[in-house]
Amino acid sequence: MSTLSRRKFLKLGLAGAGTLAVFRPSSLPAAPRINTSSQAHFYLQLIVQGGWDTSYLFDARPLAMTKAGKIQNYLGEEPSSWVGTNGGSLLTTSVASALMPFRNDFSVVNGVVMTPTFIGHDQNMNQLFTGNEFGGNSFVPYLNNADTGSTPTSLDAITSGFLFAHLENQESSVPLDPKSGSKLRSLFSALPQATPENELTNFIRARYQANSSGRGRFAQGTTLMRHGLEHTPTLQKVLSEIRPTDSATSPDMQFCALFSDCFRLGIARSAVWVLTAQAQNIDAHGSNQAKQQPQVLKELVNRIALIFKFLRETAYDSQRSLFDVTTVMVTSEFARTMRSPGVPIDNTGTDHNNLNNTVLIGGKGIRGGQIIGASDFQSADEKLSPAHFEIDQYALKIMGRPFDFATASPRIDTPEKFQIADYLTIGSVVNTIYKNFGCPETSTPTRKFLAVF
């Protein structure tokens, strides 16, 4: 099996820019700015960590495939068809029904290949965020470039929940849970500001300056301390404006209140919320876990729907909702295999499927209601491509269909050899986000995303 070289990935990433054609830039008039020096645009990443079973969501399969022993189905209902505004189609189930009222707010991207080589949670999560199975620079901080609307004091992101990924460029991404965030107000209200007028602050800053020269680790760390200290007065002021958490609401809603305050106050450009199922793990290797998935995923979908509702119903300013100024992506690190080998279809678990995933993408700059891409194995007797068997020899996985980037539609051919450039990948989705934020497509010392994607 061939591995994906950096050069290949870059090529693919550029090819992935073809998917941009299906997303229209926002045609809304320029809006008044709130606490930022540029047009408001934020990013919300919802991660359903553990590897979700997309066959209960927006990539379902007919019950005939279960009867044929191909795919487990503990819901036991025939899925229904949804045709997108662009003519793309999919099958969905009642598990995803809570999101249907928002169907025109987001588009579904199906058949997304994660890493074709590795099946681990961390490797695929790394691929999602960094374009490299082993981790590196996350794409999220690059959305906060100065020329795409960042203010100097704006954090790249606030994150909540443990993200199982190795991300390096996190110096301006801050884990902040709602409970902690709401306590910042009282903590900083009585604290003297570390302003340049403060004689002691100036002395401390001078020591940082004196120890910042050179490229050693200590000098670099001191440089970061100096930059951090310079921004503390402004940050202190805005952090103290974060509203107290309403403990009566759910953790999701508390995080929504936190990130909306952070967006509104210019504290952070992005927010990453790791959604974990409360009742049961979605990483359903065992049959007992797999049997719980319809209920577990329904609970997660309901929570995602409430977040969409929050975005829709929360005003950012007098003219726009939070949804109007926020691009949203919802996904998991990968989907699930159709079944485990060697066990009855009605008593099987599922394993990691890195060859297929579903991404929901909506909000600012994204035309909702579309269904982009598709996966194979739509019927029990579908003739799979030799390329499929090349990387899934026992045909346990649903795999993304080859994708025509020129027309932004799935191809019907069955390639002889697996070549990653034939498929819609998570890199293509991330490039879409980049384009959506106006990130330059050329690499500069401060914008290294092309080196990753």
Partner 1 sequence: MKISFRLSILIMLAALILSCTLSTRAFAQAAQFRGHAEVTTVLSQRLSPAGTPLALLPYVAKEPGLLNLLGAWTQFGGIHVFSNGLPNAVNMLLWYSTLYGVAKDVGARCNQPAGLALNTHFTRVLMAICAWPADSAKSEETMLAFWLGVMGYSAPEEEYQAWRTFFLTSSYKDKSGEEAVSAMTLAILMNPFLLLQN
Closer Cβ to partner 1, 184 or 328, answer by number: 184
C-alpha 107: how far from chain center:
14
Q: Between β-strands 326-331 and 268-275, what pairing exists: parallel, antiparallel or unpaired? A: unpaired
> Assign residue 415 a region: left if phi > 0, alpha if psi is -120 to 50, beta otherwise?
beta
Q: Least distance (Å) from partner 1 to the CB of residue 212?
A: 9
**How many Å apart are CA 39 and CA 175, to the nearest integer?**
25
- Among 4, 60, 235, 272, indicate the residue that binds partner 1 (CB under 8 A): 235
Closer Cβ to partner 1, 84 or 175, answer by number: 175
Closer Cβ to partner 1, 131 or 136, answer by number: 136
What is the total count of residues that contact partner 1 (CB under 8 A)? 48
- Among 2, 3, 195, 218, indicate the residue that binds partner 1 (CB under 8 A): 218
Residue 451 in the binding site for partner 1 (CB under 8 A) = no
CB 183 within 8 A of CB 240: no
CB 245 within 8 A of CB 182: yes
Stretch near partner 1 under the rule CB under 8 A, chosen from 23-31, 222-230, 344-352, 373-381? 222-230
Residues within window 186-205 making contact with partner 1, judged by CB under 8 A: 186-188, 191-192, 194, 199-200, 203-204
Q: Least distance (Å) from partner 1 to the CB of residue 351?
A: 17
Closer Cβ to partner 1, 17 or 229, answer by number: 229
Q: C-alpha dihedral over 388, 392, 398, 400, to 10 degrees? A: -40
Residue 71 in the binding site for partner 1 (CB under 8 A) = no
Closer Cβ to partner 1, 208 or 334, answer by number: 208
CB 452 within 8 A of CB 168: no
* Angle (CA) 215 216 219, round 5°: 85
Q: Least distance (Å) from partner 1 to the CB of residue 251?
A: 12
- The amino acid at 78: E
Closer Cβ to partner 1, 84 or 221, answer by number: 221
Nearest to 88 by CA among 59, 63, 57: 59
Residue 151 in the binding site for partner 1 (CB under 8 A) = no
* Mask for 152-181, x = binds partner 1 (CB under 8 A): -x-x------x-x-----xxx-xxxx-xx-
C-alpha 346: how far from chain center:
32
C-alpha 177: how far from chain center:
18
User: Which residue's entry shows tokens 């003739």?
Assistant: 383
Cβ neighbours around 116 below 10 Å, total: 23
Under DSSP, the state recorded for 193 is: P
**How many Å apart are CA 310 and CA 115, to the nearest integer?**
33
Residue 184 in the binding site for partner 1 (CB under 8 A) = yes
**How many Å apart are CA 79 and CA 92, to the nearest integer?**
5
Closer Cβ to partner 1, 7 or 217, answer by number: 217
Q: Least distance (Å) from partner 1 to the CB of residue 85?
A: 40
Stretch near partner 1 under the rule CB under 8 A, chosen from 26-34, 67-75, 212-220, 328-336? 212-220
Query: What are the CA-CA distances from residue 32 to residues 29, 40, 75, 364, 432 (Å)?
Result: 10, 8, 48, 15, 25
For every residue of 374-428, DSSP letters joined together read -BS--STT----HHHHHH-TT--S--BPBEETTTTEE-----SS--GGGB-BHHH
Nearest to 45 by CA among 369, 267, 313, 274: 274
Closer Cβ to partner 1, 230 or 317, answer by number: 230
Under DSSP, the state recorded for 354 is: T
Residue 86 in the binding site for partner 1 (CB under 8 A) = no
Residues within window 236-265 making contact with partner 1, judged by CB under 8 A: 236, 239
Residue 217 in the binding site for partner 1 (CB under 8 A) = yes
Residue 134 in the binding site for partner 1 (CB under 8 A) = no
Stretch near partner 1 under the rule CB under 8 A, chosen from 225-233, 242-250, 356-364, 417-425? 225-233
Q: Least distance (Å) from partner 1 to the CB of residue 120?
A: 11
* Residues at the contact surface with partner 1, assessed by CB under 8 A: 153, 155, 162, 164, 170-172, 174-177, 179-180, 183-184, 186-188, 191-192, 194, 199-200, 203-204, 206-208, 210-211, 215-218, 220-225, 227-229, 231-232, 235-236, 239
